A and B are shown apart, each in its own frame.
Chain A
Amino acid sequence: DAGVIQSPRHEVTEMGQEVTLRCKLISGHNSLFWYRQTMMRGLELLIYFNNNVPIDDSGMPEDRFSAKMPNASFSTLKIQPSEPRDSAVYFCASSLSDAPGEQYFGPGTRLTVT
């Protein structure tokens, strides 16, 4: 298994543009977490899903952010419109439902909004 896969690895976009980040879970995992990492705020949990259902999105900073799980193995995080303060590394992680603390992280997407 290649582990959690994220794409793109790097994204540079202009303010106001729509950004879509993608994540493929490890086969058999059924919990999915999206995090944002910045120097100032560290690792922040944005939203998490279990069995494709969003459980808690209280960490999503604004309505400009949205996340979906169209199927059991794939998720997207969308920012529309993007702003320079959204620049960060975005990680997704997956786990088994009965071990949500044991998360397997993807390599991250480094987003730069100019």
Chain B
Amino acid sequence: AQRVTQPEKLLSVFKGAPVELKCNYSYSGSPELFWYVQYSRQRLQLLLRHISRESIKGFTADLNKGETSFHLKKPFAQEEDSAMYYCALRAGGFKTIFGAGTRLFVKA
């Protein structure tokens, strides 16, 4: 079955601390993975895609097929990073499956 698991509902870190939001997926084929972010009172928006291997707002994510993971990382968290983060899996065709989301709270 195709599934995306984000084990943490809430992650709280201090400003300047490293942050890692975990994402594991279940899919037998070749996955496409994404991170979406929803800031307070804003719409859900794409943050980054694994195929781009890009860094957006200091965030990076590496696809680890052996561990079926796509964790989102940032070395130094900022207060403006506080938001809801969703990991998403495109499991072939048009269907994209979203994880339950992790709320990141960055404390001053």
Q: Which residues of A contact B (CB under 8 A)?
A: 3-4, 31, 33, 35, 42-43, 45, 48, 50, 55-56, 91, 93, 97, 100-108
Q: A45-B97, A50-B94, A56-B95 are in contact. Are A101 and B86 (CB under 8 A)?
A: no
A102 near B94 with CB under 8 A, answer: no
The count of chain B contact residues (Cβ–Cβ below 8 Å) is 19
Q: Are A105 and B98 in contact (CB under 8 A)?
A: no
Note all chain B residues with C-beta closer than 8 A to A105.
43-45
For A45, the chain B residues whose CB sits under 8 A away are 95-98
Residues of A contacting B: mostly? strand
> A100 and B94: CB pair below 8 A?
yes
List the B side residues contacting A31 at CB < 8 Å: 94
Write the residues of chain B forming the contact surface with A, with a CB cutoff of 8 angstroms: 32, 34, 43-46, 49, 86, 88, 90, 93-101
On whether the beta carbons of A100 and B90 are closer than 8 Å, the reply is yes
Instruction: Give bound CA distance, A100 to B98, whole Å.
Output: 13
Q: Which residue of B lies closest to A56 (CB)?
A: B95
Q: A31 to B45, alpha carbons, bound, how many Å?
A: 16
In the complex, the chain A residue whose C-beta lies closest to that of B92 is: A100
* Contact yes or no, B44 A91, CB < 8 A: yes
Output the nearest chain A residue to B50 by Cβ-Cβ distance. A101
Other than the known A100-B95, A105-B43, what 12 A-B pairs have Cβ atoms closer than 8 Å? A33-B96, A42-B100, A43-B86, A43-B101, A48-B94, A55-B93, A93-B44, A100-B90, A100-B93, A101-B34, A102-B46, A106-B43
CA of A104 to CA of B45, assembled, Å = 6
Does the CB pair A55–B94 fall under 8 Å?
yes
